[in-house]
């Protein structure tokens, strides 16, 4: 009876006596061609830091938010800025201040509060530490 079951298994392909001796394991690796691309280099022109003789201070008294990019453009051109918010509504003042403050951070600039509505903005090549006291002592701004 066992022989009969073995024959039926062979007919239907369920036989246990497979011949694995003829099987060759084809060990091969696909060749992967790695192409190295050169990263394109971009030349960035650094704006020349201005000499102290070339220093420019501009005064901005913005009346709307649309004037904020002009302030940032002057900062990028290494100009120091006196920013006067006295004529602005509090909401517009806050929007411009946030915009300019973000640009100052990105450009490594500095800011110094002179009074409630007046600020001094400086590019990264200008130091403004203690400026308020110096201006007060010089009598330029008595507040």
d(CA 104, CA 126): 12
d(CA 65, CA 92): 6
Contact present, 94 and 73 (Cβ < 8 Å):
no
Predicted confidence (pLDDT) per residue in 15-43, tens digit: 655 555 555 656 656 667 766 666 665 55
d(CA 81, CA 95): 18
Pairing state between β 80-84 and 110-113: unpaired
Give, in words, the CATH class of 52-138.
alpha beta
Predicted confidence (pLDDT) per residue in 68-82, tens digit: 999 999 999 888 899
**Mean pLDDT of the region 78-92:** 89
d(CA 13, CA 123): 83
pTM (predicted TM-score): 0.54
Q: What is the pLDDT of residue 94?
A: 92
């Amino acid at each position: 009876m066992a022989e009969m079951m073995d024959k039926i298994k062979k007919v239907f392909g369920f036989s246990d006596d497979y011949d694995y001796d003829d099987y060759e394991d084809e060990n091969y690796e696909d060749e992967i061609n790695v192409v190295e691309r050169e990263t394109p280099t971009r030349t960035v022109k650094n704006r020349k830091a201005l000499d102290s003789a070339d220093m420019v201070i501009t005064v901005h008294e913005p009346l709307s938010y649309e004037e904020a990019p002009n302030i940032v453009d002057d900062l990028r051109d290494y100009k120091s800025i006196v920013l006067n918010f006295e004529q602005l509504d509090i909401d517009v003042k806050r929007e411009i201040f946030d915009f300019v403050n973000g640009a100052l951070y990105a450009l490594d600039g500095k800011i110094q509060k002179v009074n409630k509505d007046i600020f001094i903005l400086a590019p990264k090549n200008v130091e403004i530490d203690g400026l308020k006291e110096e201006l007060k002592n010089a009598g330029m701004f008595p507040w």
